[in-house]
């Protein structure tokens, strides 16, 4: 019940296209859903995050869509660029937890072709 399932494992998109990565969770107590971006040789960096009181959050070309009833959330990257090529991780946690424990998905390697 602590798992977060992420798909696809890898994704190839043409420059200018839309990249979509999906995640699903089981634990309804989760109330914080961040997405992290990781470039080779670097640690993950927070990209965008959402809480379950909204169904969508947009920051620039990055949008999270959240479906509470389906227990699913997704990352959409509009107008994908070669510089977006990286590994993306979804995660979930309980904000009220005294540990801030993040449960991560397995990651999606995105390649944007020029």
Partner 1 sequence: ETGVTQTPRHLVMGMTNKKSLKCEQHLGHNAMYWYKQSAKKPLELMFVYSLEERVENNSVPSRFSPECPNSSHLFLHLHTLQPEDSALYLCASSHRPGDEQFFGPGTRLTVL
Q: Which residues bind partner 1 (CB under 8 A)?
A: 4, 32, 34, 36, 41-46, 49, 89, 93-107
> Nearest approach, Cβ of 16 to partner 1 (angstroms)?
30
Least separation in angstroms between CB 43 and partner 1: 3
SS3 label, residue 84: helix
Residue 33: beta bridge partners? 50
Beta strand 4-7 with 56-59 is: unpaired
Sorted by sequence, the CB contacts under 8 Å of residue 42 that are 6+ apart come out as: none
User: Which is nearer to partner 1, 60 or 114 (by Cβ)?
Assistant: 60
Minimum distance of partner 1 from residue 44's CB (angstroms): 5
Tokens of 35: 């997405």
Q: Which has the closest alpha carbon to 109: 40, 59, 61, 34?
A: 40
In the complex with partner 1, the residue whose CB is nearer, 80 or 107, is 107
User: Taking the complex as a whole, how short is the minimal distance between the CB of residue 58 and partner 1, in angstroms?
Assistant: 18
């Amino acid at each position: 019940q602590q798992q977060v399932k992420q798909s696809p494992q890898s994704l190839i998109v043409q420059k200018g296209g839309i990249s979509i990565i999906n995640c699903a969770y089981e634990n309804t107590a989760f109330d914080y859903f961040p997405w992290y971006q990781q470039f080779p040789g670097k640690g993950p960096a927070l990209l965008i995050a959402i809480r379950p009181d909204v169904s969508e959050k947009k920051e620039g070309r990055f949008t999270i869509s959240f479906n509470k009833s389906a227990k699913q959330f997704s990352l959409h990257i509009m107008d994908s660029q070669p510089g977006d090529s990286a590994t993306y991780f979804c995660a979930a946690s309980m904000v009220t937890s005294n540990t801030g424990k993040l449960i991560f998905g397995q990651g999606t390697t995105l390649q944007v072709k020029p």
